[in-house]
Chain A
Amino acid sequence: MIQLLAADGTRTPHPELDEVLAGRGGDDDLASPQRLRGYYRDMVMIRAADLEATSLQRQGQLGLWASALGQEAAQIGAGHASREQDYLVPTYREHGIAWARGIEPWRLLESYRGVSHGGWDPNELRTHPYMIVLGSQAPHAVGYAMGLQRDGVVGTGDRETDTAVLALFGDGASSEGEVSESFTFSASFGAPVVFFTQNNQWAISVPTSVQSRVPLAQRSRGWGIPSVRVDGNDVLAVLAAVREALDAARAGEGPRFIEALTYRMAAHTTSDDASRYRPSSEEEEWAEKDPILRLRRHLEQLGEIDEAFIARCDEEAHDLAMALHHHIHGMEDPDPADMFTHAYAEPHPIVEAEREQYLEYVAQFEDDAEQTGERS
Chain B
Amino acid sequence: MSSTSTTNLPIAKAITAGLRDALRADDKVLLMGEDIGVLGGVFRVTDGLHAEFGPQRVVDTPLGEAGIVGTSVGLAVRGYRPVVEIQFDGFVFPAFNQITTQVAKMHNRTNGTVHMPIVIRIPHGGGIGAIEHHSESPEALFAHTAGLRILAPSNAQDAYWMTRQAIECEDPVIMFEPKKRYWVKGDVDPDRRPELSPWQAEIVRPGADATLLAWGPSMPLALESAEAATEDGIELEVIDARSLAPVDYPTIAASVRRTGRLLITHEAPVLGGLGGEIAARISEECFYHLEAPVMRVGGYHLPYPPARMENAYLPDLDRVLDGVDRLLEH
Contact = CB atoms under 8 A, between A and B. Distances in A.
Given A118-B109, A136-B101, A344 B147 contact: yes
Contact of B75 (A138, A144, A344): A144
B78 A178 contact: no
A222 to B, nearest CB: 14
Q: Which of B109, B146, B250 has the most CB of A within 10 A?
A: B109
Given A119-B111, A123-B113, A344-B171, A178 B74 contact: no
B272 interface: no
A144 B247 CA distance: 33
Interface string A209-232: 000000000000000000000000
Interface stretch (A42-50, A182-190, A265-273): A182-190
B290 to A, nearest CB: 21
Interface residues of A, number: 45
Nearest to A341: B112
B286 to A, nearest CB: 16
Interface string B152-183: 00000000000000000111000000000000
A350 B199 CA distance: 11
Contacts of B111: 116, 118-119, 342
Nearest to A125: B113
A17 B109 CA distance: 38
A123 B64 contact: no
A319 B101 CA distance: 37
Contact of A140 (B71, B108, B115, B246): B71
Interface in B211-267: 246-250
A335 interface: no
Contacts of B149: 344, 348
Contact of A117 (B80, B98, B109, B246): B109
A349 interface: yes
Contacts of A344: 107, 147, 149, 171
A147 B108 CA distance: 22
Contacts of A177: 66, 94
B67 interface: yes
A297 to B, nearest CB: 40
Contacts of A119: 109-111, 113
A308 interface: no
Contact of A345 (B69, B77, B102, B115): B115
Nearest to A347: B199
Interface in A167-208: 177-178, 181-182, 184-185, 188
Interface in B65-103: 66-67, 69-80, 82, 94, 97-98, 101-102
Contacts of B199: 349
A375 to B, nearest CB: 35
Contacts of B246: 348-350
B67 to A, nearest CB: 4
A261 interface: no
B275 to A, nearest CB: 17
A121 interface: yes
B56 interface: yes
Given A147-B78, A150-B80, A343-B108, A122 B97 contact: no
Given A119-B111, A184-B67, A144 B74 contact: yes
Contacts of A282: none
Contacts of A182: 67, 70
Contact of B98 (A116, A136, A165, A348): A136
A185 B71 contact: yes
B242 to A, nearest CB: 14
Given A144-B75, A148-B78, 10 more contacts: A123-B77, A138-B70, A140-B70, A146-B75, A150-B30, A178-B97, A178-B98, A343-B147, A346-B170, A350-B246
Interface of B: 30, 56, 61-62, 64, 66-67, 69-80, 82, 94, 97-98, 101-102, 105-116, 146-147, 149, 169-171, 199, 246-250
Interface of A: 116-124, 128-129, 133, 136, 138-151, 165, 177-178, 181-182, 184-185, 188, 341-346, 348-351
